[in-house]
Structure 1
């Protein structure tokens, strides 16, 4: 059981007029700039009129008539106007007094200041009051009238009603001159703000009959003429609180005729607790301790969900009926609502679930939600309310709980209404854009709520009704009887385990099957009446039971033949044992039967043909037939056979024969290759271009394995090409024709499945290799000449083309020589060097073309070497640049050559002098010495392979090594960098550390610029002072091991730096006390 009470604490600011001794206008209008007037017969309807109904009177309460008096004052907008006062019993204690219109006259209030100040007796700024001296305690009421002191005025013909701009009705204790606020109240207040877009900002105080009280802050609502009421139900009071609380947009009401439903007392100030004490008991919901008494009743009359409350309220009961824990909306779970009063309540439930079906008897979960201290604040035609309401619960300790607000505008006939059933945090429930125009808007809240959840609740309180049955049974034949079908266990399920036969039958047998059916079989020789008694109970605890009789009429019947064996295997329940046959293999089926009367079986037929095969050799009277499965089918199949005797009419029965067709391994079937269908084990013709590989993919089908299949072997290789990609798991192969071959070719492959044993299909693939034009092959030529000597070369002698004979090739000069003249002469290119050109190389670029379509061409070079006789090679000087410490690769042979085109061999003759060098092919790799920068050189020579002696030439490689900045470093005494050193000092003792620093660049100032600690047990000083020293001072009283990184930098821009790690061991010393 879970209880949840509202715990929101909110301290409300209550407006009070300084020096006020009044109750009236000062409360409707918190300031003089605010709006709020009494307005009987406006949109609030009749209010405080002569002889008004009790729920539309304006009351003032007297608690002690010996001390308390009533002070009254008004200002009427329309004169003459009158007021009178009646005792609680309705007799007049103050006859009609005409409201004056002169300042200072008794009963006249001239201004807001006077109304807010109250009677002049208590406040000099106030008005002169009419005083009533009560003679009994109770609720007196004030009546207002227009035009006549005695005859009740009719409602005004036009709009506006009768307006009273100022009023005050104050109760005071004259023995102590104490104002008693919280005495003026009405169940309906008819008010007006005087005009549209003038807001009502007052706070009203609602007192329920159970003494629960609220503050309702209207917070600037814009209603013009309106009524203020509070009740426990909303817009209507039909008893269906879910509908009663919904706002409405129809019908449209006329002025003075809005059907407000007043219920609660509404005060202008918090009710006087001396007269209206707080409740001494909070609302509380309770349920009976006996779970069987939680839900009582029956399906025929409906159910009571029994709950007890200490205060009136409303309840929402969720019934978990679907077996799924918790309430599930939209399914079988159900919600019922009820308005409850003090004491024991019945929340009605019709016994149906959320789908309209009868709810099953079971252990269910019930969730009660109890809301007590309800207030509904309906208001009609309040066009706008931009700030929204604020509702608060008043508490005895003077504090307030701010409450959530709820509303349901889903019933609007036009437009779209909002809805909030889960509650919103105030201020809320605001609206704009004339949302409230001619609409009856309701807003509600409640002071307390409580939730109770109970599980394992049953509602099994209707005894079952078991009814007699009458059936007809066939002689000697089992009859299925369903006796419970017409029995009733309202809202409870029957207990299957309680179902039993209590008597009979006398002329047969009866058993109960797993489905709670009675299987009755009359004796084969008996005809006539029989009966069975049975009993069944419901699932209640304790269970309720009832009995009934099944009356049976056993009729004479011809018993049908019954199948006994199929293929010598027994038949059970009209079903033969499963027969088995391999895929694609026929099965002979023979039936043996029994006929009770000894008649012959003259008719047999198929009631249902097999779904995956055919039956042959089947005729009336036959006991055998043949079943043949469909091609390649394997799996289950069935045959239903009808057996009939030769009686007239015949008696027949069915026989169900199941068949299992077992699978066998089927060979795959090749369907196509590259989309070309296979015909007569051949796929033709797949075309491809000369010298272009072709992928060939086979598509197959395998009954056993879907489309599984692989090209596993080449049975006959192609004559003019090769095949690749033959492997398990590969449906594709690649055929590559022989180089430059075109024409027909064939190959034969096997396509196999992965069954056991493996089965294959074979196909011959016909190929057509289409010719393509190949470009000619042009090969460079060489011509050796002496100076001033001309020569020719048969240029095509070493060129060729696959399709075009050499004689049909054509050529032309496409690149002229630079040191001579070249021309075409028949099948040759002739060359004459320029005068004076005696040594070197020249070249002629020529183009060779074939006769194909399209014509394809290639280029080659005729190289001319001058002279013919042996001359030495030419070695040309080289130059290179590299940064300090960076190796460089120099292509020193790129500009060297041999005029006779002889190969040349390089050798280093001398150098380098400031580094090292190594020849690699046509390159030399030069590495400068560490930190060297400046000029270096290498002398080398190259030699050809001329005979009888090699001819050579020499050259220089000149290298510039550009300087790069080098950082200074701490010298370890051997010229190498020191990376780590250590020192030991005593606690609290500084140490100055100086380094021996080397600077490869020289000539610069070196300085210790930064010390970065690891452990930070001390401080460094003496930095950036143009020396290589710094001072380390340990922190006071610290000892241990500290480490710092020391940065040594030169004065370059940017600076070049190195670093050294200095470990400082700080030994402890004994400190004085």
Structure 2
């Protein structure tokens, strides 16, 4: 119906034109309306302010590819008629090279049919004099046709009739042609548009309409011929793209019409903007695209460059895999996975996931998406065709992928009448005179029924389930509606957005395998300390239990146990209880105070850790919190600990998985325990060293001799209230063996340290050995703790002991038994005093 702004319909382009002979002129309105053409003249609305009828408004923008030495000709019916009328030309660099308000007028229908003159050609044959531009830079030029005024052009004209150029936004005739370098022929098929903003005027829309023919060139190299076949939306928009209407969130095609013409932002790609990796505006040509078009061209186009005439690419798919959203090949969670495959070209895909069991284990699911050339990942949400999550276990399944090529969509906005249907024909790329297919598809479910005229039949002609259509010939039923209707309101397309599409299918690619679906309720079932009141120097042992409540087995589930500041690791044990194992053994990170491991937990299995820590005086007084966590592995659903946030990322943090579980309740994967209470009594480190020496008669002669030994033993006691570590003993008289050791409060060690001393004569003369040892250690704060030895022998000066040495009253004295003794031997020798040889009185005995 016509409102103040009238309706529009966006058709993905339509209609092409007769075959162009070598003597033909011009690419433009003459191709739409050759001599004798019936129906209405749909003419340009050239004004940049968008309306609901013309949402993609522009100044009649056209693009033309030209080579150096060729000549571009430009003309329109609005030139030289006053107002704002003009023609602009922009070079490939984007620089404006023409802004002409007077030349290049197509004055009437006779001139339109005759076409432009060659460069320098004299007047004659009713040909008009265009604007000329000799090409010095190869590339794509942009042409803008500006109308006299800005008002909506509402006058209707028959296609083969003359016209009157009014002071509005309409341009009734237009032309962009290319003259060859020898100036003796026109090169057709070089001019294209991305969108045509058109008007049929407002007269008798139910009895006549637009019958123009256009050609569509797709990015993957295919050519369509489209006959508008008399449709009439009064004010309307023509465009052709590869996706039709889009899901606003995913930007994937929805393959469906919409029951509105408002609020469409993000639901269709703007043809005045550059293509992206998913959204492609197919190109509309008045003639068959020229054979000499390059594959790509740079120029005054959106984005600075664009595709042109590519070689045909068949829609083939290879290397199909099913990969979980977290990256596990062949395994998924209830978050689903990706269908991964390699596509030979870009295009939309249909993916069928179905059970191969009998009876079937799940309802078949069809997913549509967009593929780019190369490796693709199409997201599947893990649900079957009824929206039910896949059952846990090993599920035999088949995945079939069909890639669609040469895809074109023709959306109509507020198109009241399509009584004869739109004829859409795919041409044989080996011989463009032949038609390969005229099949079309649509899905109008959800569109309100009309009060005037007919609805399409069938309502759902989609290739997707549930209709699973193989298409309908557009020559017999090109998506008809409005038959028998009258007026401009209440018709099926009134205030609706109606999509018609077609494509070719490549060969199906499929995989048949066992789909592994894992669901496991992991939990921390217990944290229990062996004591609840602690002071510095204590040890406390926590028993931590982890359980898998199934139903699936899991491998490599990350486990952590965090201890508070002031607790130091001592030891731990693991018990698999006959079912669980450590895929990665427990280890401790001092920087984060965290124990971590990875666990293999079969369904129903519970494992146990016993973790012992020591308590230091740096612990903060009060309740001590320890925390244990268990995290689902990649591509496993934990019913209460699987994040639903997007974008989807593998699980790395149990807090994120729990906080975003979508249940509104806490999970059982994280457990805190604060039962243990620390009392911060003052630290009082202390140590006592007792040294005992024992004489050893090395040669067993019962006497103290030089070389005999003294054996020393050392008793070390922790007399303080904190643990001591790195305890060692030094003695200036001997080398002490053993240590270092650690001692808890009140602990005693009398076996770790020993020493041996060898006696000297000075020691024997002195009757004892005097010496002093020193014990050194560290408290929990790394402060030194020392003690000089006390004697374990009898005190000096007591019976049997040497006296105390005033210089070392604390020395350990080891007494040496005294063994005094003497022997006298007397010898007499006679001496003959007078030498007479005889013993005489007076001789001597010496």
Larger Rg: 1
Q: Which has the higher strand share?
A: 1
